[in-house]
Every structure is written in C-alpha cells, then in structure tokens.
Structure 1
Amino acid sequence: MQALNRNQLFIASCLALLVTSLSFGIRAGILSRLGIEFNLDKAELSSITASAFWGFPLAVIIGGMIVDVIGMKRLLILAFVFHMAGILLTYAADKFSSPYWALFISTLLIGIANGTVEAACNPLVTALYPDNKTTKLNHFHLWFPGGIVIGTLIVYFFNQAAISWQMQVAMMLIPALLYGVLFAKQKFPVTERVASGISTSEMYRSLANPLFIFMIICMFGTAITELFTGQWIDVLLRNVSGNAILILTVSTGVMALGRAFAGPIVHKLAPHGVLLMSAILSAFGLYLLGNTSGNMIFFGAIIFGMGVCYFWPTMLGFVSEYLPKTGAVGLNLIGGAGMFAVSLYMMFMGSFYDQLIAKNLPAGADLKLYNSMEATLEMKTALAAANKAAGPEILNATLVIPLALIVAFTGLFFFMKNKKMAVVQ
C-alpha cells in the first residue's frame, strides 16, 4: 500500500496556493492595463475582480461540505481543471467579441479553483500536522503573500521589458501543472474530524456556537482589510505613487516573512492576542497609506503588511484550535465568508470610486470617454488628478473596518483570557 508522504503533500499544497496568489498579484498588476485596452470603467473592473471573490466562497463552502464524501484528492483534481480553464480563457480574452465577459467568466473560474484549493488544503494541513495547526497554517498561507510578491514582480519586470499581459497570465501555468502532477501521485489522509470520530451531525450542530458566529462576522472585516486593499492598491495609488504595484510587493513581502516566522509569535501571544495586534497594526498602516505620500507610503505598506500578515491563517487556526468540532465545514465557512464579504465590498466600492472620480472631473464629463484610448491630453490630466484625489478617499473609508476589529478583538482577547483556554501547538 502506498505510504503517506507528508512533505510531498505539503509542498503540493503550497504550489496550489501559489497559483491562487499569482492570480491575485498578476491581476492586481494588469488591472489598470486591462481597463485601458478594453475601455472598462472602474465599476466594470470591480465586477470582473469581484467574480473571483464570488467563485471562491461558492467553491470553498460546497467543497467543505463534500470533502469528507469525495475526498481531498478528487477535490484538488477539480481545482486543477478549473485553474487551467480560467488561466487559458484569460490568456485568450482579446480573441472574444466581448473581452469583458471573457475576463469575467475566466476570473470566476479561477475564483472557483482558488476556493476549491482552500476547501481541500486547509483541512489537509490540519490533518497532516494535528499538533501544530496554527503555525503550519501560517507556513502554508505564507505562499499567498509570497505568490503575490512573485506575481507583482512578474508584472513589473515584464512591463519593463514590454512583454504582453497575456504572457504574464501564462506564467501561472507552471505551478498549476506542477501541483496537478504532484497531487495525482499522492495518497491522502482523512480529515481531522473524521479521524477523531466526530459525527457529521455533531459537526453541523457546532456551527451554531456563538463564538463561531462571532468569528464569521470578524472574518468579514479581516478579509476586506487584507484582500480589498491588496487587490486594488495599484488602481487606488497609481496616481499618488509612481510605483504603486511595488507598494503591494512591499506589503506582501512583509506578510510572507511574518508568516514564515509565525511559530514563536503564536506561542507567545496565542491566536486571540495575534488577532488583536494585527487589527491595531492594520488600522495604522491603512491610515498611512491613505494619508501620506512619497516614501512614507512604503513605510505605511510595511506596517500594513505586518498588520494583515496573520489575519487569514490565524482566523483559521483559531477555529481549528478552539472549535475543532466544526471540522472542514467550519474552516471553509470561515474562508468562504471572508471572500463573499470582499466580493460585495468590492462591487460597492467600484461604483463609489467612479462617483468620487466623476465628482472631481468637469461637470457633465463622460467618464468612459476620459478613461478611453481616445481621451485627449487634457482629459488624461484631469482624470489623473481625479484618481489621485479619489484613491486615498477609498482607503480612508475602508479604515473604519480595522478600527471596528480592534474593538471586536479586544473583547475576544479578554473573553479568551478569562476562559483560560490553553493553546495546543
């Protein structure tokens, strides 16, 4: 019988998450370019981007419900198929009569693939490392910011070399093919919930735990703070900083380093202490991004990266450690809730962003015309000024979310401290 190869499974999981993160980093880098090439306004760009955040919760929630039935291996084969279809359709978007719909559908497919990866890999990591779950989830999830760094650098250097955005998208095929091959050859364990003998009915009853519901609500805020800001940073700050995409590179680079060294921090502060610290730093970093200029923006990016660094994996780790009976469904509902909140917020902010830009343009200006290839130099100058004013306003509007999280996680910190629940690492 084939032996379980824990290291190979973990490496393949990291490669699968790398494809997810490359899709975020490269899409963030080419978003403005797509808007110009296909004459898309901010609302259309936001709906394309948001489709990834619709596909993700759909896949992660359904995947969480069926992972124990069909197994993690079959779920990851489905993720591979969706990734390949989404990447290839994005690559060929300019060949369709409606590039908008080609980009929308392809981004949706990639979002479904990304959610399916999370649906299988989060319970896989906790099953592989039952005595070190929060730390190993941080190590696994370091490939999300790590991949965004790689993706943004691909965009930056490929743009410098005048290499097409299509070739930038095609770079995602390399890790996708690698994880597909690796997973196809491996034997998989059962999920931790199945291994511990917790029944399916008990798992679903555990979802009504008030603490779990509280964490779902908090995940709305942590996901929006991290993912909305990261995905839109190049658009929001392009006219404020000459190298806006490098701001994302800096913040996600800090995130990757932080997650790599998560173990001692999680042991020292416990998950609830880490979450409170993260909310405070996120709020301060977001304030700096929206209210400074020049090199101070990069300082803000460092603080922001330190803040959002532990949000996602530590939210998952908290649920896995303190609410283990919720099983794979609990882990994946947390992730799905976060992505769903981001999709709604992104759609709302896309329209709000257009309104802010229009407010700063001459009365009666056609935003589509100002944003098109036919725009005059005067129009482009006026649009750049309007964008420069609107981007930081969006960041300042978003600042209220991490401020609310500080209050929520302060309450959680004292609640957990009073409960005196020991962290098992």
Structure 2
Amino acid sequence: MSTNTTPDKDRLYLFIASCISLCVTSMIFIIRGDVEGSLTTEYHLTKEQMGEIWGPAFLGFTIAIFFCGALIDKLGMKRMHVLSAVGFIAGTLMILFAPQPDMADGTTVSGIFSTTGTTMLYGGFLLMGLAQGTVEGVINPLIATMYKDRKAHMLNVLHAFWPLGLIIGGILALIMGALDLAWQIKIGIIIVPSLVYLFMALQKEYPQTERVAANISTGSMFKACLNPLFILLWFCMWLTAATELAPDQWFPSIMKELTGLQGTMFLVYTAGLMFVLRFFFGGVVHKHSPFLVLTICAVLVFVGLYWLGSLDAGSSAIVAFAAATVFGVGKTYFWPTMLGITAERFPKSGALGINLMGGAGMLSIYFMLPIMGKSLDTAGPGEALISVSYLAIALVVIFAVLFFGFKAKGGYKAEDIEGEGVKAS
C-alpha cells in the first residue's frame, strides 16, 4: 500500500499553486467571452467564425490533457505545471500582437485563415488551450495523489477556484469596461497570475502520481480505462461539459441580447454560486452518492437552460436571475464530481483516466461552440439555449439508473489503489 509522503506544509503550498493556475484558466474563459464583441467587430468575423476561433482553446486543451495522461508519469508534474504557465504567457502575447485585417467595405473575412490577424488569434487561443489542458492534466492527479482519502471532496474544493477565477475575471472585465479600456488590456491581465503560479511551481518538488507510487503497471492503467462504467462516464462527460461550459462561453453576449442587461454580470453571479457550493459544500459528494448529486444537477440544468432560453426583452431582472440561479446551482458539481468518480472508482487508471475524462469534456466544447454560434446566427439566443437543454434529459436518465443500480448493490463505494471498497453511500 502506498502512502502520501508530501509534508502538510508543502501539500498546502502545491494546493494553492494549483488553485491559482485553475483561476487563470477561468479568467481567460470569462474575459474571452467579454471581449467577443470587440474581436468579432475589429477582426470582421461572424459569430460562427468566432466560435471556430475559440474552438482551438478547447481542442488544445484536449490535445494537452491527453498527452499529459501519457507523459506526466515520465516528465513529472512540476515540469508540466511550469510549461503550462509559459503557454499562457506566449498565447496571450500572440493574441495581443495579432494585426487587424483591412476590410474597408465592412464585410466579414472569407475564412479564419484568410488574414494574418485571424490566424494569429487562432494560434493564440490554441496555445492557451494547450496550457489550460496541461494545468488540468497536472492539478487533478496531483490533488487525487495528495488527498487519497477524500478525492471527490478535495477535487470539488479545488474546482471552486474555477468559478472564483470567473468572478475575478468578470469583475475586472466590468471595471475595465466601465473605464472604457481596450480589449487588449483585458486579455493582457492574464499574464500577471500566470507569472505568480510559474514562480510558485518552480519553488517546490512535486510528488509522484498515486499510480506510480503504488507500482501499478501501465497495462493495468489502460485496462482500467476500458471498464464499461468508465466508458459510460466518458460519454456522459461529453454531455455534462456541453450543457455547462458551452453555454457559459456564450453567456455574456447571450444574456445581454435576451435581457438587455450586462451579460457578464450573470456569469459572475452563477460563478459566485458555484464557488460557495463547491468550496463550502463540496463534501456533499462524500456524504451522499455522487450519482444522486449528478442526477439532481442534471434536472436543474435542464430546467435552468430551458427557462433562460424562454426569456425575452419583457422578462424582469428578477426572473432572469432566478433562471440563472437554477442553472448555476445545477452545473456546480458536474465537472469535479465526474473527475472525482473517476479517481475514486478507477484509481489504477491514474493520471490517464482523469485526463481522458477532462479531455472528453473539452473536446465536447470544441464541437459545441461553433454549433451554438451558428444557432445564434440563425435561430437566436433563446433557441440556442433550449436546444442545449435537451442534452441534460439524457443525463438525468443515465445518472438516475447508475444511482439506483449502485444502491441495489449496497451503495456507491470508492476503491483504493489495491481494489478494495473504502466507503459506501
């Protein structure tokens, strides 16, 4: 049986560094959505083309997180964490120096690779996506390794810093918008926290992953990822990400069009709900079956998205925020709980299992962004949200079946690295 030998002081230090790096990823997420209008106008893009330019951020995430799953045990978590910070800085600089196309007649560009500026935007967001994927490829197995007795709980606490980054980025974007600062300054602010966690990552040694420390073979790692339940959860991750993060990326512009209010406020508000619930009530997935939690979340996401899509200019701010509340609470536990179940039920899958799950989520968003963008162009924001809401119905059915299936067998059990059940709920 392997034991965690990371001193408590170093463990807290690495946890904080992980939280800051996760904040960077979500700051980018909300700032990217906030500057969408400026980028679309100044680079002469359609919404669909903007979705295609955003897409590499999520494709890059997927590529990086898949490679992390295979390479992290060889290269080490420290090197990969440092590399992610370098990627954020380089990607930001590429976007900042992307020249605007000269379209005197006001038409849109013929394609995203038809001008140097739009090509550089694509490349910059791709680099940022690679960096984001590397962050998650490192910090998720790091937390699962350091907190082996409460993986799902601590992964929910860690991922409370995703909405915290949304809050920080959103407030900064609102302040800079009120000051009428250029979009370049909003994007450029990302460099500051990237440098902070780069410095922190260079100061400490990182532990080996749980799988390596326990001498679990690579063959056993791949075998764990072929388990039928793992494959089903991997499929579900496509749907949870599509119903959570794809609408989030369009949220600022969608909510402004639907309600006439500042759309970024809604994303900051739902992020606040998520932070409180994950940070202070992340243990709910430890006290109850995570599949019960996911079932309830899927119901709330369906209701919330459908309700949001039904809003119009005549809807009051109270109704709009009520609908956003239902959606915000519903999406709270999707991502970290899916990762937590993977770490608890398939510990032998190691970093590869967690990263395959995260990669599925981001690959889903890569495909969903232009689909939602096209729907926004043709059908409008309401129909775009309602269409996505239907995906949550499938999640309700699957998670409910899994909950009752485990309950019939004595309850949900987490597995330790030796294959023994260690808790039931």
CA distance in 2, matches of 1:110, 1:182: 20
CA distance in 2, matches of 1:311, 1:286: 15
1:312 aligned residue (335, 346, 351)? 335
Gaps of at least 5 residues in structure 1 are 357-389
Q: Does residue 1:198 correspond to 2:216, yes or no?
A: yes
**How far did 1:235 drift?**
2.2
Question: In the alignment, what sits opposite 1:399?
Answer: 389
CA distance in 1, matches of 2:77, 2:250: 32
CA distance in 2, matches of 1:280, 1:298: 18
SS at match of 1:239: helix
CA distance in 2, matches of 1:62, 1:285: 35
Question: In the alignment, what sits opposite 2:132?
Answer: 114
CA distance in 1, matches of 2:98, 2:408: 55
CA distance in 2, matches of 1:303, 1:244: 17
Alpha-carbon deviations, 1:123-146, whole Å to 9, x = none?
001111111111110111111111
- The answer to whether the Cα contact below 8 Å between 1:202 and 1:325 also exists between their aligned partners in 2 is yes
Question: In the alignment, what sits opposite 1:13?
Answer: 18
Map 1:38-117; keep pairs closer than 5 Å: 38-94=43-99, 98-117=116-135
Question: In the alignment, what sits opposite 2:34?
Answer: 29
Cα distance 1:210–1:343, how it changes in 2: closer, same or farther (>3 A)? same
1:251 aligned residue (260, 264, 270)? 270
Counterpart residue type for residue 205 of structure 2: K
Question: In the alignment, what sits opposite 1:417?
Answer: 407
**How far did 1:268 drift?**
2.9
Counterpart residue type for residue 422 of structure 1: K
1:129 aligned residue (143, 147, 150)? 147
Question: In the alignment, what sits opposite 1:362?
Answer: none
Question: In the alignment, what sits opposite 2:324?
Answer: 301
Alpha-carbon deviations, 1:86-122, whole Å to 9, x = none?
1111222246863211211101100000000011110
Counterpart residue type for residue 190 of structure 2: M
- The answer to whether the Cα contact below 8 Å between 1:237 and 1:392 also exists between their aligned partners in 2 is no
1:272 aligned residue (276, 286, 291)? 291
SS at match of 1:190: coil
Question: In the alignment, what sits opposite 1:340?
Answer: 363
Q: Does residue 1:182 correspond to 2:200, yes or no?
A: yes
- The answer to whether the Cα contact below 8 Å between 1:67 and 1:120 also exists between their aligned partners in 2 is yes
CA distance in 1, matches of 2:117, 2:173: 20
Counterpart residue type for residue 75 of structure 1: M
Counterpart residue type for residue 355 of structure 1: T
CA distance in 1, matches of 2:174, 2:388: 27
Task: Please report the TM-score for the alignment, with normalisation by the length of structure 2.
Answer: 0.89
**How far did 1:147 drift?**
0.5
- The answer to whether the Cα contact below 8 Å between 2:345 and 2:413 also exists between their aligned partners in 1 is no
SS at match of 1:240: helix
Is the deviation greater in 274-283 or in 288-297?
Answer: 288-297
Counterpart residue type for residue 127 of structure 1: T
CA distance in 2, matches of 1:267, 1:317: 10
- The answer to whether the Cα contact below 8 Å between 1:25 and 1:150 also exists between their aligned partners in 2 is no
Alpha-carbon deviations, 1:29-71, whole Å to 9, x = none?
1111211222211111101111111000100011111101111
CA distance in 2, matches of 1:287, 1:269: 27
Q: What is the root-mean-square deviation of aligned Cα atoms in Å?
A: 1.7
**How far did 1:401 drift?**
0.7
**How far did 1:351 drift?**
2.6
**How far did 1:326 drift?**
1.2
Alpha-carbon deviations, 1:280-328, whole Å to 9, x = none?
1111111121113322111111111100001000000001111112111
- The answer to whether the Cα contact below 8 Å between 1:224 and 1:341 also exists between their aligned partners in 2 is yes
CA distance in 1, matches of 2:11, 2:353: 23
CA distance in 2, matches of 1:74, 1:17: 17
1:208 aligned residue (190, 205, 226)? 226
Task: Please report the TM-score for the alignment, with normalisation by the length of structure 1.
Answer: 0.89
CA distance in 2, matches of 1:419, 1:215: 19
CA distance in 1, matches of 2:75, 2:269: 40
SS at match of 2:289: helix
Cα distance 1:419–1:94, how it changes in 2: closer, same or farther (>3 A)? farther
Alpha-carbon deviations, 1:230-280, whole Å to 9, x = none?
000122232222211111111111111111123441233221111111111
Gaps of at least 5 residues in structure 2 are 1-5, 102-114, 415-421
Question: In the alignment, what sits opposite 1:220?
Answer: 238
Counterpart residue type for residue 303 of structure 1: V
CA distance in 1, matches of 2:334, 2:387: 20
User: Number of matched residues?
Assistant: 392
- The answer to whether the Cα contact below 8 Å between 2:150 and 2:286 also exists between their aligned partners in 1 is no
CA distance in 1, matches of 2:210, 2:328: 31
Is the deviation greater in 214-223 or in 100-109?
Answer: 100-109
Fraction of identical pairs, as percent: 38
Question: In the alignment, what sits opposite 1:371?
Answer: none
SS at match of 1:131: coil
**How far did 1:418 drift?**
2.0
- The answer to whether the Cα contact below 8 Å between 1:83 and 1:176 also exists between their aligned partners in 2 is yes
**How far did 1:345 drift?**
1.6
